[in-house]
Structure 1
Amino acid sequence: MLARRRLLTALGAAGLLPAAAWPQEQWPDRAIQMVVAFPPGGQADVAARPVAAALERVLGHAMPVVNRPGAGGILGSASVARAAPDGYTALMALSSLGVLPESERIMGRTPAYTVDQLVPVARVTADPTVLVVPASAPWRSLQDFLAAAKRAPGTISYGSAGNYSTLHVAMAMLTGSANIDLLHVPFQGGGPALTALLSGTVNALASGPGPALPHVREGRLRALGCWGRQRIPGFEDVPTFIEQGHPEVEFYIWSGVFLPAATPAAVQERWRQALRQICAEDEPLRRALEAAGSPVAYQDGEEFREFFRDDTARLTRAVQRIGRVE
């Protein structure tokens, strides 16, 4: 066995051994990069940091989280799509990953990446979005908010992580169902959008529950409704939009790990094994995600691939309904 390993090492150094032929046990042998395509503080960042810390404990190598924001998530996602397919660069993505290429086409641009350049490895979380407003706002309920929007169309503003981002699409579902006109203010990620809400720059936000929960608990934000079929843990007093008369308004913001599509199958499987292990067994990870209001909702393999296909198709239809955004 030792002789075989030495031979494989020599062949690899000489460039004579394809990457896919390397024994799975040789991966990883150095630090691994986890890319987040948004600034710190958003839903992808909230998931990526405890996941990376847990993977370091299992894989035995550093896993720095690198924030590469820009264009609503396009720049960071494209950087991973173009990265070397060796398993050392991964993306912690949100549901917007699948619809951003379609948004680029709608805007008349060539997409910076396509979905088939990335392979889904595992879903980590899947949370309904929650509508939050400043606690100082006059709206005590969703009914108050919608009535105010109808009285003064286009004057109530809401932030998002960028045009066609998950937070934009979620709000578009609500405005369409309620027949209201809100002012959309895009930012370079969920973190900056949440900061803008807290500072009073915008009036409302469709947020992942994790980033919003601490501010709701501290009394700085008020939640008016959620996009789930059931109420969200930590937001038990907040009714769903379905409960409040909007049966078609259902949306989930999920986080999942993706690799460049040409990554060897053995390395993809090692990623899945490690992610499955930490999501099932790593208590610090589970506690961190639960404390953030975003508990583990693990999927991998064909189950996650099917989920990603169906979710991307549904959200692509929503983006097409939004149309061109100037």
Structure 2
Amino acid sequence: MKAVVVREPGDVDSMQFIDVPIPKIGPKNLLIKIASSGVCYHDVLVRKGVIKHGVQMPLILGHEIAGTIVDVGSDAGGFKSGDRVATTQRYHICGHCHHCRTNHEPLCEEKKFLGDYGMFGGYAEYVSVEHDNVALIPEGVGFDDAAVTACTIGSVYNALRDVGNVKIGETVLITGASGGLGTQAVQIARAQGAWVIAQTSAPEKAAMLEELGGHKIVVHGRGEPFSDQILKLTGGVGVDVVLDNIGTPVFESVRRSLRTGGRWISVGQLTGDFVQFNPAQLILKNISLLTATSTTRLQLEQCLQLVKRGMVKPTIAQILPLDRARHAHDLMAQAKITGRIILRPEA
């Protein structure tokens, strides 16, 4: 099969479009013929060597996958050849630890992330995934939308609903709102009854963010602080919740934008840089610093139903053939797209 393989960290030239064997399946595995694979900034960070934890090279990038089952392992019950499926972001979980047994499988100590762990990734014609990490695609939902549901919708659904417990009438700030996660977060926060402020450094994307449900759009120059704008919009009080997709580059602006008793949910970190702060800055305002990672299979199933019902729409920026994965990474690095790029092996 054709696949995009990275043997060692580097620039886009480290991505080689080559022939590799179709992956074998074990008793718990499903072999999926890939129809669509999303391109996440996580992929860029893995390829560059910024993300190291859990990474085993050589690898096939990509953790946002949808396709059709073509082979089923002997212990992979509940699925059959011909089923249309989408994956969570994982290749493997243990299935029996406390986290796996309580619908928190992204926290499994044995988890292996698709696109990070060896030759199990979405930038290929086929992928082998253990059945615990796969959900059926509802009728009426296309492969492109299904591929990105777990990561873009499921991750912020997890963050805003299950971790952040956003309530009707609360004010929610979405950082990096025009990115792959941000465009979905605006929609999810709005659907939860929040008053949504969308932050972006791209003025040309402000109108789109309003269409997605942003009540107020904060535009600023890249690298410039924006907390003064947030405080002005909230009468000097600050926001109840921040869903932060960016991390270190906006850390100080986010801290200053939160009201007393606010909740800060971190879901993204776009650089390898660290940040220094005095914990008293959070303690004196009783700010809760929370994190949300990945998507459970139950959350994926729930989000696919949201997509089916038209309550949330995955934002697809471009569709490219698999052999143009390097170009997709160039576009991601330039931050010139809104939403996700889809790679199709048969495009």
Q: TM-score, normalised by structure 2?
A: 0.28
Larger relative contact order (Cα-Cα within 8 Å, sequence gap ≥ 6): 1
Q: TM-score, normalised by structure 1?
A: 0.29
Compare the two structures and name the one with the higher helix fraction.
Answer: 1
Structure whose alpha-carbon radius of gyration is higher: 1
